[in-house]
Structure 1
């Protein structure tokens, strides 16, 4: 597989997953803003910090308000991390390599992009942001579900999925970091915050089946970090990333040695999570655990770039 094709596939997986996670995070923050202490400007600034670049926002706007933040994080085509930008970048990458994936995937993503770029922020506020973000999530889930249903399990598939799983792991880490900062210094987060955190990751029902007792931030963090059977947990995501790297062994040429090193790095990260005990994740230790996991994810992204992409190309978006 040519390096330009590998790079495009990897970033299609990352950008589509990132857009969905941004929609989830914005949706949960909309639910949480009514419980937040202090004035509304601080609330909207916190939401911007979770996804976007506050310095970039402040260059364009004098204050943090619902309308401006919603546009900046969702529809601003000049903002490198907005949902529209993520979808546009995924589409641009897919357009370059349309012959590598089924045509239905291009039709889905192109149609989704054409719809999203016509949406105005006033429409979102009038129709209810929650319903809008639900539609965003459903559209991206349709793309991923179609890929699962019809894409051949060849090297292109494994590269696409490796990007998706690595992005999912990183976004769950950032989601946990965002929620854990809402109530600094408190042993237990409020019930509403913790429920919203679970729902934003799609894990409320799965968590209740495993842990029917009281829901605390510590228990939810343990679930989202360590649960091996939940598809959006960090452990599951890193295991999936490792699995797709191993599946590419048969397709590796000169990348063979580098690929083996990357597989060992991914296996080490997944193994270290497997050795963590529930008692190792507490409210006091959570920040350090998440920071280490974020560092590991960045290392894995850099390793993919060194192994598969053209020298000198940008590693992270």
Structure 2
């Protein structure tokens, strides 16, 4: 596989996963303003901290207000982490390598991008933000579902999926960090934010089915980090990332030893999570666990870039 093709596939997976994650989080956090008790700016600040660049936001705006934050995180093309920017970058990458994936995927992503590009924020706010974010999630689900249904399980597929699962792992870690950073004396009030994180990944029903009654930050963090059978947990994401790397064996003419080192690094990360006990994740240790996972995700992203991509290209979005 050519370097440019591998890089485009990897980032298509990352950008589409990132856009879906942002839509899920915004949809749930958006409604927390109803429970803000006059602290709506705190809610919008926390949303921006979870998925945006607060430094860039504060250079442009003097306060965290609904209209500005929603535009910044959804439709601002000059902000690289907005939903529209993520979709635009995924589309640009797919446009370069259309012959590598089924044409239906291009038609879906291109049509979705054109719709999203034409959306006006005033329309979203006047109608139903929930309906808008639902439409975003459905569009991305259609793209992913079609990819699962009709794509050959070849090196292109495994490259696409490796990007998606690495992005998912990082997203979950950052979401948990956004809640764990609440000051200790306010943690009792963090219940709403903890529920928002759980619901944003679609994990509420799964959490309850496992008879986990205590919806505390500790318990939710354990679930989203360690639960092997939940598709949006860190453990599940890293395990699948490792499997897709293993499937790329034999498809590359580069040094196999470099690929094996990357697979061992992914396996080490997954294995360390497997050895973690539930009691190893407490309020005192959570930040350290999450910080180490962020470092691991960054190392894995850099390893993929060094092995598969052209030298000198961007590594981390």
* TM-score, length basis structure 2: 0.96
Deviation per CA, 1:242-271: give whole Å up to 9, x if none.
000000002122131111000000000000
Residue 142 of structure 1 corresponds to 142
Q: What is the DSSP-based 3-state SS (H/G/I as helix, E as strand, rest coil) of the residue aligned with 2:266? A: helix
Take 2:139 and 2:100, find their aligned partners in 1: how far apart are those partners?
21
| Inter-partner Cα distance in structure 1 for 2:136 and 2:279 | 37
The DSSP-based 3-state class of the residue aligned with 2:118 is coil
CA displacement at 1:155 relative to structure 2: 0.2
| Structure 2 equivalent of residue 67 of structure 1 | 67
Counterpart for residue 115 of structure 1: 115
Cα contact 1:183–1:189 (8 A) shared by 2: no
Moved more, 287-296 or 173-182: 173-182
Trace 1:87-98 onto structure 2 (pairs within 5 A).
87-98=87-98
Task: Tell me if 1:46 matches 2:42.
Answer: no
* Aligned twin of 1:246: 246
Does the CA contact (< 8 Å) of 1:188 and 1:283 recur in 2?
Answer: no
Q: Distance in 2 between matches of 1:202 and 1:44?
A: 21
Query: Equivalents in 1 of 2:180, 2:244: separation in Å?
Result: 31
Deviates more, 1:190-199 or 1:102-111: 190-199
Distance 2:227 2:246 in 1: 22
Partner of 2:250, secondary structure, is helix
The aligned residue for residue 3 of structure 1 is 3
Q: CA RMSD in A?
A: 1.5
The reply to whether residue 78 of structure 1 matches residue 78 of structure 2 is yes
1:101 is displaced (CA, Å) by 0.1
The farther-off stretch of 132-141 and 43-52 is: 43-52
Distance 1:43 1:191 in 2: 13
Determine the C-alpha separation between the residues in 2 that align with 1:274 and 1:212.
19
Tell whether the 8 Å contact from 2:179 to 2:190 is kept in structure 1 after alignment.
no
Q: Distance in 1 between matches of 2:21 and 2:246?
A: 26
Deviations 1:156-204 (A, max 9, x none): 0000000000000000001111122345455656543333221111111
Change in Cα spacing, 1:43 to 1:213, as seen in structure 2 (3 Å) is closer
With 127-136 and 142-151 compared, the bigger mean Cα shift is at 127-136
- Asked if structure 2 preserves the Cα contact closer than 8 Å seen for 1:31 and 1:196, the reply is no
Task: Tell me, yes or no, if structure 1 residue 33 matches structure 2 residue 33.
Answer: yes
Using structure 1 for the length normalisation, give the TM-score: 0.96
> For structure 1, which runs of at least 5 residues remain unmatched after alignment?
none
User: Hey, what does 1:278 align to over in structure 2?
Assistant: 278
| CA distance 1:297–1:189, shift in 2 (3 Å) | farther
By how many angstroms is 1:70 displaced? 0.5
Q: How many residues matched?
A: 317
CA 1:190–1:58 in 2, change beyond 3 Å: closer, same or farther?
A: closer
Whether the 8 Å CA contact 2:25–2:196 is kept in 1: the answer is: no
Unaligned runs of 5+ in 2: none
Cα distance in 2, alignment partners of residues 205 and 192 from structure 1: 16
* Match in the other structure for 2:298: 298
- Map Cα deviations across residues 38-58 of structure 1 (whole Å, 9 max, x no partner): 643333222212111122122
Aligned to 1:177: 177
Q: Which residue of 2 aligns with 1:162?
A: 162
Distance 2:238 2:188 in 1: 27
Query: Is the CA contact 2:18–2:167 (under 8 Å) kept in the aligned structure 1?
Result: yes
Range 200-209 or range 5-14, more displaced: 200-209
**Separation in structure 2 between the aligned mates of residue 62 and residue 89 of structure 1, nearest angstrom:** 28
In structure 2, C-alpha distance between the alignment counterparts of 1:58 and 1:97, rounded to whole Å: 37
Q: Aligned equivalents of 2:230 and 2:159: distance in 1?
A: 22
